């Protein structure tokens, strides 16, 4: 089988590796139909981070068809069309029952997160609860629907998680920091939850236009103090909620800066900063919450249904498609902002 290998910063390649087999009784082997590149994948791609050369790549979003199931799997069978989320919650622990399966108590840390999904086949661990079945077969759906299903593996639930963690309520004034796929989905989520005003902070015209199409009521291109002042001018004061979808110190500073005292931050950008202390929010009564998204919970409870009914169309975040053989070009185009999110057709 073919899988994507991280070669070095700025280069991934597709190589032949051994076929996957069932290892644990709750494993499922899935034939991948669509996968993609996540904004978080670009950290390792562009900088290397601590990733070793010639290792399986980080990709963690896929839809496909079940090929094999372990002996204890009761929820899916070969032939089922499924969403393979980037998380592996158990559905039974306190965290999962509270709707936080992205940080399952039984699968701590990296054991709850996927990788290696940019491949022809994947082995999905802890699969009994976490996989999400899509009704029917892939041939029943248009390509636009396939794109939206693929967002349900990560970016749409992640954008929704930002809105949930910030407790976005009907009538709220919301600011979204980050104009990539997660930020675009956060706009959709804020609209779903009834926000009255949604400001997208973006400096790129194509992303500004997409955000407005998704439900944003205004865009702000300025950054730093100028951006904060512009948001407050548009809103007639501070925002009720800020959705941080980047993961940098400057983005979290922006989120905190646009809020009125007593406002709320929902952050889902994977943090690439270490010097932001909780004490810095004390004088503002700011509520801060966020983390890994509750993909399975949100998909099963309402997001899949919303896509099936046509109430939301998050698949528009995929602005370019590539073959698996051309996946490095997908990474390059996302890194160079020629693509918002790259879909890989396997």
Q: What DSSP string describes 95-161?
A: HHHTT-GGG-SSS-GGGGB----SBSEEEESSHHHH-EEPSS-GGGS-HHHHHHHHHTTTHHHHHHH
Both 85 and 209 in a single domain? no
Both 262 and 337 in a single domain? no
pLDDT of res. 46: 86
Instruction: State the CATH number of the domain containing residue 252.
Output: 3.40.50.720
Number of domains making up the chain: 2
Both 171 and 268 in a single domain? yes
Both 198 and 268 in a single domain? yes
Both 218 and 300 in a single domain? no
Both 231 and 339 in a single domain? no
Q: Which domain holds residue 179?
A: 159-290
The tens digit of pLDDT for each residue in 220-250 reads: 999 999 999 999 999 999 999 999 999 999 9
Write down which residue in 269, 290, 311 finishes a domain: 290
Both 242 and 121 in a single domain? no
Both 122 and 36 in a single domain? yes
The tens digit of pLDDT for each residue in 75-120 reads: 999 999 999 999 999 999 999 999 999 999 999 888 899 999 999 9
Instruction: State the CATH number of the domain containing residue 305.
Output: 3.90.180.10
Both 145 and 7 in a single domain? yes
Both 234 and 271 in a single domain? yes
Q: What is the mean pLDDT of residues 294-314?
A: 98
Asked if residue 52 has pLDDT above 90, the reply is no
Both 32 and 147 in a single domain? yes
Separation CA 46–CA 129 (nearest Å): 34
Write down which residue in 290, 310, 333 finishes a domain: 290
Separation CA 163–CA 141 (nearest Å): 29
Q: For helices 155-165 and 181-192, give the axis angle rounded to 10 degrees.
A: 50
Model-wide pTM > 0.85: yes
Both 39 and 146 in a single domain? yes
């Amino acid at each position: 089988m073919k899988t994507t290998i991280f070669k070095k910063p700025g280069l991934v390649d597709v190589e032949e590796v051994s076929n996957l087999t069932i290892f644990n009784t709750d494993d499922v082997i899935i034939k991948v139909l669509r996968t993609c590149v996540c904004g978080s994948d670009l950290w390792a791609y562009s900088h290397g981070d601590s990733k070793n050369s010639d290792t399986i790549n980080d990709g963690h979003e896929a839809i496909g068809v079940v090929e094999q199931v372990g002996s204890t799997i009761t929820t899916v069978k070969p032939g089922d069309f499924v969403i393979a989320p980037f998380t592996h919650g158990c559905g039974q622990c306190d965290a999962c029952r509270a709707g936080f399966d992205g940080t399952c108590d039984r699968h701590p840390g990296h054991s709850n997160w996927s990788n290696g999904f940019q491949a022809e086949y994947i082995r999905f661990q802890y699969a009994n609860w976490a996989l999400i079945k899509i009704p029917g077969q892939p041939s029943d759906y248009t390509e636009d629907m396939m794109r939206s299903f693929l967002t349900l593996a990560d970016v749409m639930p992640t954008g929704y998680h930002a809105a949930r963690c910030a407790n976005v309520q009907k009538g709220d004034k919301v600011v979204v920091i980050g104009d990539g796929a997660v930020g675009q989905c956060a706009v959709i989520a804020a609209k779903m939850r009834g926000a009255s005003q949604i400001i997208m902070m973006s400096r790129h015209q194509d992303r500004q236009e997409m955000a407005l199409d998704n439900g944003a009521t205004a865009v702000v291109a300025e950054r730093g103090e100028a951006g904060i002042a512009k948001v407050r001018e548009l809103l007639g004061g501070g925002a009720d909620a800020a959705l941080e979808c980047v993961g940098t110190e400057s983005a979290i500073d922006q989120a905190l800066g646009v809020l009125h005292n007593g406002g709320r931050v929902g952050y889902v950008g994977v943090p690439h900063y270490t010097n932001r202390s909780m004490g810095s929010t004390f004088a503002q009564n700011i509520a801060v919450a966020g983390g890994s998204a509750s993909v399975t919970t949100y998909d099963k409870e309402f997001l899949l249904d919303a896509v099936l009914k046509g109430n939301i169309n998050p698949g528009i975040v995929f602005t370019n498609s590539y073959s698996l053989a051309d996946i490095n070009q997908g990474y390059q185009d996302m890194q160079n902002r020629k693509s918002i999110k790259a879909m890989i057709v396997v």
